[in-house]
């Protein structure tokens, strides 16, 4: 491994001080291994495709349609595999030294955006814990502003936000006094050990007092949620409210109450059934416009409503890159990994996304940076308005570059709130480009990004614990990404002319990954039907060509297994990843492709499917035991169930023919494939049997 130290220089009062803020480690050993494997695997894959195509045109294999379809599926696998190799070309890792940031450094303003939409599916207390943890970031409070977008327009959320701020006025001084790292109240009070704190009688007494206040706050919010008659208002005007600003300070009770607090603003944009909504992208766009009128922080932190700040120093860690004069001019954002606190030991749904955050994002970081994950990134506001070399600013940007929070008189506050409501209206979205451009256009314009994966997770969220919610997410992503891939913004056409081929390939992988559904459907139908009818699709076991096919398979499996084991995983981790990859491709990605087709054909309009983040005890118990939960996902399971039943029927029927014909060598490949599909679909078969047993009872 090669480590490169990156240095930043600052001039303060004619004194130049040089500080090492971050370093970069090029993973040389992994690079060499990856490139050797790419050369080997690509060569063998070309031989496999040569066998398929040459035998098709020679007319040696019948029926031709089956041969052509299986060839198409293998071309799709090869195409996506080629795109994947861009992630393995030049991986690197980074570290930061926040202690080297000068104490007198004038940090610029930071605006935190949090979006929520429905208190029933996104528990209000989880949202409030995220807000409180954001208010408690280790950042100058006069430079920090937190904005909550409530797309449900719920009085529950507004009430809870006011209660959360009242609690945070006591919580923040406690965190600062005792240097608490876990500043999410729910997480802190759940700790078995209180970090490396010095436990004194004073600390214990204060902690107990705050825990009582937090439980009271929690009961009040839960009570109003239970008594609510209306959770979401779908037809409403825009509303903006300053929960706390400079004129809202209350420091009369005691010294702790006079602690400076960040700006906190509630925004509920206008929503009309007849007007375009644009979902989360529209909510973020509204926050972007509204925040310009209040704080206009040069940097933005975007968080999911259930993704709380687990390390208060994350902002300073990001600034180690944004403050670097050599890197900053072209740096758009710093991306942190999306990690979860409720992942089970078995992780049957691969919620930790190990391949993405341990392999792919590190790989993209070596070629001008990772893509936006949707949460946990520190973005330079200027990057949204043009290219790195463009000096022009957004027309509405006010003349404040430091992000200092403005002080308003009562009349000014009324005027600014009125303007904020206008900026959050539906009419402002009309005939504008807000929400239409994909995030990868930042890289197309010449911006770069950075991926930082510190030892202590900076952000922790709540992941899905059943198949339904996991697949709902996948359908949304698959449909949206594939839509970009088939438009003029495709990374293999629009992107490749504006950024490097490797970076275009990375984006191409994310966008064209739903095509796995087509390849898996073909592989789940054609070989099985041919097996039933005694038609071989693979070479004989003793043929040299069989070595080619088996080498391609073992090479791909071996690489993935090596990556899992070298990352501290187990063979069970590898198998869970393999299994859920196939299951999600055949179900979620399949419906994503279908969803896109229906949109294009005009059969169906775009709808917003909100992932349910409320925790069900029964589902949680199944998840902890490693049992798949298909409740509510019956529709998604139709393709997988059909393929599992077809595979079993064809396997049983085809075995008789093999015994009679004794052509084991010709059919070995299809026998192995059928057994593999049975192993993958075992949770599905088990679920069907359990449901049948319950119905009989």
User: Cα-atom radius of gyration of the chain, to the nearest Å?
Assistant: 28
CB distance 627 to 516 below 8 Å: no
DSSP state of 259: S
CB distance 236 to 273 below 8 Å: no
What tokens does 604 get?
């169906």
Q: Is 121 annotated as a binding residue?
A: yes
Q: Is 280 annotated as a binding residue?
A: yes
CA dist., res. 349 & res. 329, Å (int): 40
CA dist., res. 277 & res. 263, Å (int): 27
CB distance 421 to 240 below 8 Å: yes
Q: How far is CA 348 from the centre of its chain?
A: 18
Q: Is 380 annotated as a binding residue?
A: no
CA dist., res. 351 & res. 689, Å (int): 26
What tokens does 576 get?
């869970």
DSSP states along 153-215: --HHHHHHHHHHHHHHHHHHHHHHHTT-S---HHHHHT-SS-TT----HHHHHHHHHHHHHHH
What tokens does 557 get?
């499996």
| Torsion angle, alpha carbons of 596, 599, 601, 604, to 10 | 130
CB distance 448 to 602 below 8 Å: no
| Torsion angle, alpha carbons of 348, 351, 352, 358, to 10 | 100
Q: Is 304 annotated as a binding residue?
A: yes
CA dist., res. 49 & res. 71, Å (int): 8
Helix (H, G, I), strand (E, B) or coil at 128: helix
Residues making up the annotated binding site are 121-122, 151, 280, 304
Known binding residues for Mn(2+): 280, 304
Binding site listing for UDP-alpha-D-glucose: 121-122, 151
């Amino acid at each position: 491994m090669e480590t490169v130290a990156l240095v930043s220089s600052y001039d303060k009062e004619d004194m130049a001080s040089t500080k090492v803020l971050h370093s970069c480690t090029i993973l040389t050993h992994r690079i060499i291994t990856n490139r050797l494997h790419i050369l080997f695997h690509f060569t063998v894959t070309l031989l496999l495709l040569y066998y398929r195509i040459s035998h098709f045109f020679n007319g040696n294999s019948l029926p031709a349609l089956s041969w052509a379809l299986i060839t198409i599926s293998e071309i799709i696998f090869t195409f996506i595999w080629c795109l994947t190799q861009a992630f393995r070309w030049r991986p690197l890792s980074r570290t930061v030294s926040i202690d080297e940031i000068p104490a007198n450094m004038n940090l610029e303003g930071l605006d935190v955006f949090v979006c929520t939409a429905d208190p029933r599916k996104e528990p209000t207390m989880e949202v409030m814990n995220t807000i409180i943890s954001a208010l408690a970031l280790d950042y100058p409070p006069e430079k920090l502003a937190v904005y909550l977008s409530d797309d449900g327009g719920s009085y529950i959320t507004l009430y809870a936000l006011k209660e959360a701020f009242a609690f945070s006025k006591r919580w923040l001084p406690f965190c600062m006094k005792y240097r608490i790292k876990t500043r999410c109240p729910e997480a802190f009070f759940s700790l078995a050990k209180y970090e490396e704190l010095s436990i004194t009688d004073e600390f214990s007494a204060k902690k107990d007092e705050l825990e009582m206040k937090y439980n009271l706050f929690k009961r009040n919010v839960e009570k109003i949620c239970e008594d609510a008659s209306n959770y979401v208002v779908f037809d409403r005007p825009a509303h903006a409210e300053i929960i706390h600003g400079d004129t809202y300070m209350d420091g009369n009770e005691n010294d702790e109450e006079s602690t400076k607090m960040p700006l906190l603003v509630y925004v509920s944009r206008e929503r009309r059934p007849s007007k375009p909504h644009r979902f989360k992208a529209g909510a973020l766009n509204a926050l972007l416009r509204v925040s310009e009128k209040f704080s206009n922080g040069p940097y933005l932190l975007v968080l999911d409503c259930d993704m709380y700040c687990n390390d208060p120093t994350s902002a300073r860690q990001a600034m180690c890159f944004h403050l670097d004069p050599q890197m900053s001019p072209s740096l758009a954002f710093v991306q942190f990994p999306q990690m979860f606190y409720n992942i089970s030991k078995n992780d049957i749904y691969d919620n930790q996304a190990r391949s993405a955050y341990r392999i792919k994002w590190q790989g993209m970081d070596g070629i001008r940076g990772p893509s936006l994950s949707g949460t946990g990134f520190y973005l330079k506001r200027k990057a949204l308005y043009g290219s790195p070399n463009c000096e022009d600013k957004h027309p509405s940007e006010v003349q404040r570059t430091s992000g200092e929070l403005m002080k308003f008189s009562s009349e000014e506050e009324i005027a600014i709130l009125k303007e904020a409501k206008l900026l959050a209206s539906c009419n402002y979205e009309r005939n504008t480009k807000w929400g239409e451009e994909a995030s990868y256009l930042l890289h197309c314009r010449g911006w770069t990004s950075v991926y930082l994966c510190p030892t202590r997770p900076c952000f922790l969220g709540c992941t899905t614990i059943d198949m339904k919610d996991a697949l709902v997410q996948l359908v949304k992503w698959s449909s949206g990404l594939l839509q970009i891939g088939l438009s003029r913004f495709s990374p293999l056409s629009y992107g490749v002319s504006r950024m490097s081929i490797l970076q275009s390939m990375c984006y191409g992988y994310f966008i064209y990954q739903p095509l796995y559904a087509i390849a898996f459907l073909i592989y789940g139908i054609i070989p099985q039907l041919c097996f039933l009818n005694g038609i071989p699709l693979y070479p004989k076991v003793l043929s040299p060509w069989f070595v080619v096919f088996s080498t391609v398979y073992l090479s791909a499996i071996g690489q993935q297994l090596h990556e899992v084991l070298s990352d501290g995983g187990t063979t069970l981790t590898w198998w869970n990843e393999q299994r859920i990859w196939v299951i999600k491709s055949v179900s979620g990605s399949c419906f994503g492709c279908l969803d896109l087709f229906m949109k294009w054909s005009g059969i169906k309009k775009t709808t917003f499917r909100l992932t349910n983040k409320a925790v069900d005890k029964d589902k949680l118990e199944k998840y902890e035991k490693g049992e798949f939960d298909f409740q509510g996902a019956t529709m998604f399971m139709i393709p997988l169930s059909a393929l599992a039943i077809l595979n079993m029927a064809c396997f049983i029927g085809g075995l008789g023919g093999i015994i009679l014909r004794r052509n084991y060598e010709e059919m070995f490949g299809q026998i192995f494939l059928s057994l593999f599909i049975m192993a993958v679909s075992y949770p599905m078969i088990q679920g069907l049997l359990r449901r049948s047993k319950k119905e009989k009872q």
